[in-house]
Structure 1
Amino acid sequence: MEPIIEINQIEYSYQEDLPTALKNVSLSIEKGEWLAIVGHNGSGKSTLAKTINGLHLPQKGEVKVGGMLLSEENVWDIRKMVGMVFQNPDNQFVGATVEDDVAFGLENQGIPRDEMLIRVKDALETVKMSKFATREPARLSGGQKQRVAIAGVVALRPDIIILDEATSMLDPEGRREVIETIHQIKEESNLTVISITHDIDEAASASRILVMQKGELVQEGTPEKIFSEGPRLVSLGLDLPFPEKLKAALKVRGIQVPESYLDEEGMMNWLWTSVLKK
């Protein structure tokens, strides 16, 4: 399968006297893949995301999206393929009502009104916010606001959605709602999802994880591979998933634990069959 995104040895710096934000980064992303990019503040993960939709043009190297080489001439064509959901949904709202806000991006693209009405309705149904269509966005909960922001992106029907710390301001229930919504949309539309996150549980939803440090790609692999290297994650300033923390605590108590990574369901099954039944 041909990659939908190809990044080849890109570099980017905000200012000459500042450290390089991206250093010789290369990677490819397949269509339909869910990729998580993790790293502490200043690691370059958000800068990397912004080079994919042309908010930043790399100063060295190449970025291809859908087979198109990113340039000043075609940046708007590429942005039609890439939708971004940011950290604070309040900064994205421009409409007086939820449906007005979802329609805003469609108006900018010159979508005919009849088509626009269909897309707004479908997008709100997809994120389960239809009954809030005439509400003011300011009166919604954090999770509801973020779902509206997602609806605004979904209505544009991009091939790629980037979540740039999109769940970081939400409570655990809000984060769960948003991730479940993205999963549903991804499966229905075969979207490519890129999740920029500090949240290890969100990263666990991905099929592949990239670890960034000081502008460089230092590690990549499946969640199982990345999370099994607990001490290395901690050294990079990242948290560990709860099952890995629990395994470490049990190990201190002299209980033999599996070497391989377990998600929450796997941990529950292992506890039930190997520990609680003894």
Structure 2
Amino acid sequence: MKPIIELSKVNFKYQEDDERQALTDVSLNVYEGEWLAVIGHNGSGKSTLAKTINGLIVPSSGDVVVEGLPMNEENVWNIRKKIGMVFQNPDNQFVGSTVEDDVAFGLENHGIPREDMLRIVKESLEKVRMTDFAKKEPVRLSGGQKQRVAIAGVVALSPDVIILDEATSMLDPEGRMEVIKTIQEIRDEKNITVISITHDIDEAANATRVLVMREGRVFKDGLPEEIFSAGQDLIEMGLDLPFPEKLKMEMRAQGMDVPADYMSEERMVEWLWTSALNK
């Protein structure tokens, strides 16, 4: 399968006199329709990587290619039309006085005819289950609702890629699950590629692939079961483990016989239920 995003030996420093690079020799392919979760401790280069992909920063060396277009001054605006970003604080993204005005803002800037714009706004709010809040002020919404509106604004522009840059980090568990579920549904429906920059290991466990960043380099890259089954390596890096893996470790410490392979939350529930029935 041909990659939708290609990074080759990308390097970046925020200041020329910085001793440490923010990104060092990062090579990475992202494929159409996948959900790539990027994890790592603070300062590992996660958000810098996201900004590099979207053209918000220019690498000091190396190449970034999005859908066959090299990242340069000539192509950067066309590339940004293909990539939508949802940031950590949705309040920083709101520009409209009402929810529907905010979702319409990007469409207006793209010169979409009013009749088409009204239809797209309605469809986008339906996708994130926020139709009933169309006339509300964004500032009066909950954290999870605000992020769903921010997602609607991005989805309205029909990007091929959505980057979530710590988009769930300020939410409570319920709001976090709302946002993850919304993104999963949109990805399944429209085959959108998702890149999730996150500290939330349980969010990363929902991805189809996980990238671990360490000191500006790609440390590990693989399926969730490959990454999270090496639990001790992640713990030594100061990272957490998905809840099922932590539960397995605790059960094993209590002398219980648990499966050695990686288990998602759904599989853990199924195994616990089956084990209880067999006793």
- Partner of 2:53 in structure 1? 52
Tell me which residue corresponds to 1:15.
15
Instruction: Look up the SS of the partner of 2:100 in the other structure.
Output: helix
1:154 aligns with 2:163: no
How far does residue 245 in structure 1 lie from its aligned partner after superposition? 1.0
Q: Per-residue displacement from partner, 1:66-99 (whole Å, max 9, x unpaired)?
A: 1100001110000000000000101111110001
Instruction: Measure the CA separation in 1 of the matches of 2:201 and 2:162.
Output: 19
Output one character per residue of 1:187-211: Cα deviation in whole Å (capped at 9) or x when no partner: 1111000000000111011110000
Say yes or no: does 1:165 pair with 2:166.
yes
1:238 paired with 2:239, answer yes
Aligned residue number for residue 225 of structure 2:
224
- State the SS of the aligned residue for 2:202: helix
Give the SS at the match of 1:20: coil
**How far apart, in 2, do the equivalents of 1:204 and 1:32 lie?**
17
SS state at 2:25 partner: strand
Other structure's SS at 2:7 match: strand
CA distance, structure 1, for counterparts of residue 228 and residue 276 of structure 2: 22
Deviation at 1:276, TM superposition (A): 6.2
Whether 2:96 is the aligned partner of 1:100: answer: no
Q: Which moved more, 1:148-157 or 1:110-119?
A: 110-119
Residue 273 (structure 1) shift: 2.5
Q: CA deviation at 1:257?
A: 1.6
1:43-74, CA deviations, whole angstroms, 9 ceiling, x for partnerless residues? 00110011111001111110000110000111
Q: Secondary structure at the match of 1:28?
A: strand
More divergent stretch after superposition (115-124 vs 141-150): 115-124
Tell me how far apart the structure 2 counterparts of residues 6 and 70 of structure 1 sit (CA, whole Å).
10
Report the TM-score, using the length of structure 1 for normalisation: 0.98
Distance 1:264 1:187 in 2: 20
Q: CA deviation at 1:22?
A: 0.3
Q: Which residue number corresponds to residue 184 of structure 1?
A: 185
Which AA in structure 1 matches 2:44?
Answer: S
Identity value in percent: 67
Residue type matched to 1:190 in 2? N
Matches within 5 A, 1:253-268: 253-268=254-269
RMSD: 1.0
Unaligned runs of 5+ in 2: none
1:135-167 CA distance string (max 9 Å, x none): 000110111000000000000100000000001
Residue-by-residue CA offset, 1:1-42 (whole Å, 9 max, x unaligned): 211001101001100232200000001011111100000110
1:34 matched residue in structure 2: 35
* Separation in structure 1 between the aligned mates of residue 35 and residue 273 of structure 2, nearest angstrom: 30
In structure 1, runs of 5+ residues without a counterpart are none
SS at match of 1:10: strand
Query: Aligned AA for 1:16?
Result: E
